[in-house]
């Protein structure tokens, strides 16, 4: 990955924009609207437009932006976004597995550190961890070459009916949800038996071989991605 260092507030802001575009664009790398980017970052639409114009007009453009058509990452922008995602997920894994951070705390800590680590430090972390492919939340860690495995999954909140699933990943955006999910044993790789309740009541689920079911709200179910088990 690129050897560049980003150690000022403006560069951190740029990194956050690039990560948000990468996330919102999804596997298809779809164009991202100003509205969705504004909501993701908590920034006024006018400020988003201003930043995108600057990124598109730089000597090595990081985005491809057209008014009324939204934005996509350029090749350079995608490479930089994936580098920051790699930093973030390696740091999360290190904090969780080596420093014994609670799972609900690793995301915020990694957000603060991801912009500043050197490539040497990144390599040392990866080697110490055995070059992991996934972080503690089940998210793919991009390779040094900027490649990230694509995985098919769905949100638990999109399940319509009963079924048996395997947890693919959990969102790291809501610390309280994450704390609850961890306490319930809903970790990546765990088997989940699901029974849909009334729309307002969410789901009744059982984890692993446990005979005891518990209720899960739709809000929490939004943060769990699953893969259906086929017989």
- Secondary structure (3-state) at 18: helix
Q: How confident is the model at residue 6 (pLDDT cuts 50, 70, 90)?
A: very low
Q: Are residues 13 and 104 in the same domain?
A: yes
Q: How confident is the model at residue 199 (pLDDT cuts 50, 70, 90)?
A: low
Separation of alpha carbons 113 and 152, rounded Å: 29
* Domain residue limits at 142: 1-150
Where do we find the tokens 């580098």?
Answer: 83
Output the average pLDDT for the chain.
Answer: 91
Strand-strand pairing, 70-73 and 154-155: unpaired
- Out of 116, 135, 150, a domain closes at 150
* Residue 5 pLDDT greater than 80, yes or no: no
> Mind listing the pLDDT tens digit for each residue in 82-91?
999 999 999 9
Two structure tokens written together for 20: 């948000």
* Residue 207 pLDDT greater than 60, yes or no: yes
> Mind listing the pLDDT tens digit for each residue in 153-176?
999 999 888 899 999 999 998 999
Separation of alpha carbons 180 and 151, rounded Å: 25
Q: Are residues 130 and 74 in the same domain?
A: yes
- Secondary structure (3-state) at 66: strand
Distances (CA, A) of 97 to 92, 94, 100, 106, 167: 9, 5, 6, 10, 20
């Amino acid at each position: 990955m690129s050897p560049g260092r980003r150690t000022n507030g403006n560069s951190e802001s740029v990194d956050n924009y690039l990560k948000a575009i990468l996330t919102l664009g999804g596997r298809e790398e779809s164009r991202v609207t100003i509205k969705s980017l504004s909501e993701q970052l908590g920034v006024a639409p006018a400020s988003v437009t201003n930043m995108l114009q600057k990124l598109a007009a730089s000597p090595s453009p990081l985005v491809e932006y057209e008014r009324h058509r939204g934005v996509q990452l350029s090749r350079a922008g995608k490479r930089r976004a994936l580098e920051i995602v790699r930093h973030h997920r390696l740091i999360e894994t290190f904090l969780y597995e080596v420093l014994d951070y609670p799972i609900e705390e690793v995301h915020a800590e990694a957000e603060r550190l991801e912009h500043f680590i050197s490539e040497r430090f990144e390599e040392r972390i990866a080697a110490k961890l055995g070059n992991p492919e996934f972080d503690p939340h089940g998210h793919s860690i991009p390779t040094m070459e900027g490649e990230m495995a694509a995985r098919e999954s769905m949100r638990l909140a999109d399940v319509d009916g009963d079924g048996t699933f395997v947890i693919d990943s959990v969102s790291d955006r809501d610390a309280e949800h994450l704390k609850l999910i961890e306490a319930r044993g809903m970790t990546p790789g765990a088997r989940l038996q699901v029974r849909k309740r009334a729309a307002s009541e969410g789901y009744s689920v059982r984890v692993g071989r446990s005979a005891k079911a518990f209720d899960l709200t739709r809000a929490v179910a939004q943060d769990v991605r699953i893969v259906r088990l086929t017989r």
